[in-house]
Amino acid sequence: MIKGLYEAHLPVKNLEVSIEFYRKLGLKFAWRDEDTAFFWIEEGKSWLGLWEGNEYQTPYHPSLRHIAFRVTYQNLKESLKWLESIQVEPVPFGSRISIDPFVRPNQGNASVYFDDPDGNSLELVCYVDVPNELKHITEKFSFEDWENLVNSKLK
């Protein structure tokens, strides 16, 4: 029945500032009215709605103010350089100290996090092929440590 994500929404303080930020991320502007703007995430498939209003003051919680954008593994490896090139600072995830992308073997994905101008949590995430014997691991790995572990298991 469900084929994918159609839309997601985030609250913002200033629509003009947010429009420029999301354009900088490379999302294609779709349309706007006086207090709402939409950007294509995948054109014709899914989009992101930005809503100007006081709701941006809602305390952060990932169930309320978080979006994850799918990228390739190689894109994620290059994500810190890309974020720096568009003047966006990555942030640590949860209790982590490092801002570097990391792999979650038990989830079969890898991520890096950053915030939009209103403190909405944004994530670049990719799927990761995880050998069956490593799928139980809940520890988070740097890309270097992950690739070393996988290479040692494949030998």
For the chain, give every domain's residue range: 1-56, 65-155
Write out the CATH class of domain 1-56: alpha beta
**pTM more than 0.85:** yes
| Count of CB atoms situated within 10 Å of the CB of 94 | 7
Residue-wise pLDDT for 26-61, tens only, equals: 999 999 999 999 999 999 999 999 999 999 999 988
* 81: helix, strand or coil: helix
CATH of domain 65-155: 3.30.720.110
Residue-wise pLDDT for 119-148, tens only, equals: 999 999 999 999 999 999 999 999 999 999
Q: How far apart are CA 42 and CA 36, in angstroms?
A: 19
Amino acid at residue number 69: F
